[in-house]
Chains A and B, each alone.
Chain A
Amino acid sequence: MAGSLSAFLTEVDLLDLLNDIPGGCKTADDPFFSEGNKLLKPFVKQGVISFGDEEELHKKNYVLCNVPGCNKEFHSVYEYESHYNSLHRYLCHQCKKCLPTPHFLDLHILEQHDSYFSVLAQHKPMFACFLEECKQMSATPEERKDHCIRIHKFPSNFRFETSPAVLSKGKKERKDSQQSDVAMEETSKSEVASKVPKNFSFGHQKQKVFDSKSYARILARKHKKETEMECENVSALEDSKTVEDLMESLPS
């Protein structure tokens, strides 16, 4: 019994021990907790591995996507669900565009299909940031794009950009640059190009098709002629009237 008692610290021993331990409130980075923190395993980065064999199990099951106009076939329900969640979950019912998240769908519907929004957007900043957590409102889609690139370090060619204005501008810029490149090339080759005839014809000089441009040209010419004739008639009438007036003014 005495042996077992001696195995434990007495009250006096404990009091001495407690005097050595600092009391009070401590934060997680306090040196007192450093030994305890060593008990906790640090986070180890982990990758992910997929097992391709799993697909073999589902090979005979075919699932059809029943969304009108899709009709894709899948080997497993999982694949179908995955496809549906990625492509048909956040779908704009008006223009059938698929968006990746509910936030992007909200933005799309507001900006593309809401006339009240377009009226308001003329008076105050209405274009919300692509990040749901950011409350910044921009006056134009371009301003929003700038904000996202500058503040949130988005890539300049952000692929989930929904506004057609920004998209078409980007495309236009690319097209313009391409055209200017082409133009530069063309000016250098202009002398050569001018000597080359536009088209060759072997036997049949006129193309046997409906040429809308030439037809329009003929119509325009005809219209011009008619207007000229009308003008001539009007001037002739005016001339005859003046002659009559003069005749009347002469003394009898």
Chain B
Amino acid sequence: MTSNDISESTQRLREKIRVFQAAERNSRREDDTDSMRLGLGEISQLIEELENLTEKDVTGLASRIKRKKHASYDDMFRLSHAFLQSVENIATFVKIPGALNVIVKELTGSDAKSQVIACETLCNLSLGDSVPCEKIATAAGSYLITHLDSSELRLKRTSLWVLTNILATDGKGISTLLSQEIASKLVHLYLECKYPELEDDILLAIDILLEKDANVIDANDQSKLYDSLRTKQPHKGLHLNVLFMILFRANSVSLETENFERTSELVEIAINTLNAAEHLNSQDNILKVLYSIRILGNLFAKCPDCFVAVEKLCPSLSSLVNKVLSWNNKTINKELLWLVKNTISCQTALNRPGNVLKELQVSRLTIF
């Protein structure tokens, strides 16, 4: 072994450790930010010593803030915790006329801390059904959308969370927000976003919007979003999900008009994601694998020419398919076989020799 070899191997080891540590930091950061967010009722399970706030307490607090025409930090904290505890507390608060307006007043006031706490209170209020969501959209939708441009990150992020919760709830709240140009705002926010931690939250909101109705984002914005997603090298399942939605659901970014270079880029993204995937133990990995398969399958069906890019990037597609097949997931294997069928049609259209089927190792146990 020469000194050169040693230094090279040491460098490789160091690089590996560095990558591992970066991944560890990322996952810890995600855990930390996740710990800030809780679903309805989870707070009572997590913190047993927490004061149990009943509907009576909520009524008292709401009357108090109404009487004073002002909500203190403590009032809003208590209301916020009460909303996290049960949906009944939310329903009680919504029934009291004028109480929500006090929170909205704090949201638009001149005290920065009060603005953030009011926004958090609204976030927890939006955990309720369509009625509170509609009320928030009507009374505070315009302010929340304005705060998306705020330079105060916490306010910006919490406003986004409230809006996402409203979008995820069926009802008039969505139409109110759509009339306030939320779709366009979200796309612009993503395109100009300087905070990587916020990007996923924005994409999640866009994904929910696309799920509801793909045409709410206009063609121009979709095209911009598509370009941005493609060039940013999507490394998360959610990115691929939105990319797929824009390409194959919204139908505004037409693949027929795409040039070869662009479709090759898409193939590269999908192949690289499949190559990098090592297991299916997380939601993100499932999303990544599933949407890579779907994007590749549809690309082969729509633009057979892009198979040339696959041949360059991955000379042995069958080994990649075998890797995914070895994870023995019946649902994913079914979609994988659809990809294989489209690959064969692609090869036939381009008169390519070779047979993928010969090299495939499809276990009898994992098929249907």
Contact = CB atoms under 8 A, between A and B. Distances in A.
Interface of A: 6-9, 11, 14-15, 17-18, 21-29, 32-33, 35-36, 38-41, 43-50, 52, 79, 81-83, 85-87, 89-90, 98, 100-104, 130-134, 148, 151-155, 158-160
Contact of B40 (A7, A15, A47, A153): A47
28 contacts: A14-B337, A21-B334, A21-B341, A23-B301, A26-B294, A28-B249, A28-B294, A33-B294, A36-B332, A39-B290, A45-B39, A46-B39, A46-B165, A47-B123, A47-B127, A48-B38, A48-B120, A48-B124, A50-B80, A50-B117, A82-B112, A82-B113, A86-B111, A86-B115, A100-B147, A101-B149, A134-B181, A153-B180
Contact of B37 (A18, A48, A103): A48
A82 B152 contact: yes
A86 B112 contact: yes
Interface string B30-65: 000000111110010000000000000000000000
Interface string B183-203: 011001000000000000000
Interface string B339-368: 011101100000000010110111111010
Nearest to A15: B357
Contacts of B138: 153, 155
Nearest to B322: A8
Nearest to A84: B112
Interface residues on B, range: 35 or more
A104 B143 CA distance: 12
Given A49-B36, A131-B145, A152 B124 contact: no
Interface stretch (B154-162, B265-273, B306-314): B154-162
Given A86-B155, A131-B180, A32 B77 contact: no
B180 A49 contact: no
Interface of B: 36-40, 43, 77, 80-81, 83-84, 105, 108, 110-113, 115-117, 120, 123-124, 126-127, 138-139, 141-143, 145-147, 149-152, 154-155, 158, 161, 164-165, 168-169, 176, 179-181, 184-185, 188, 204, 208, 241, 244-245, 248-249, 283, 286-287, 290, 294, 297-298, 301-302, 331-332, 334-335, 337-338, 340-342, 344-345, 355, 357-358, 360-365, 367
A231 B341 CA distance: 113
A50 B120 contact: yes
A14 B180 CA distance: 52
Contacts of B302: 25
Contacts, number: 210
Contacts of B37: 46-49
Contact of B331 (A25, A39, A52): A39
Q: Which of B110, B145, B180, B188 is packed against the most chain A CB atoms within 10 Å?
A: B180
Given A8-B364, A98-B110, A24 B165 contact: no
Contacts of B337: 14, 17-18, 21
A7 B301 CA distance: 30
Contacts of B245: 28
Contact of B124 (A47, A98, A104): A47
A49 B176 contact: no
Contacts of A36: 290, 294, 331-332, 334-335
B249 A45 contact: no
A29 B214 CA distance: 11
A40 B287 contact: yes
Given A14-B357, A45-B169, A86 B152 contact: yes
A152 B142 contact: yes
Contacts of B331: 35-36, 38-39
A9 B364 contact: yes
Contacts of A38: 331
Given A100-B150, A159-B143, A48 B364 contact: no
B147 to A, nearest CB: 7
Contact of B208 (A41, A43, A160): A43
Which 4 pairs from chain A and chain B are nearest by CB? A86-B112, A47-B124, A101-B149, A133-B181
Contacts of B358: 11
B38 A46 contact: yes
B367 A17 contact: yes
A8 B331 CA distance: 17
Contacts of A45: 39-40, 126-127, 165, 168-169
A44 B290 contact: no
A33 B335 contact: yes
Nearest to A52: B77
**Residue picked from B83, B154, B358, most chain A C-beta under 10 Å:** B154
A9 B362 contact: yes
A219 B116 CA distance: 59
Contacts of A11: 355, 357-358
B117 A158 contact: no
Nearest to B83: A47
Contact of B77 (A29, A50, A130, A132): A50
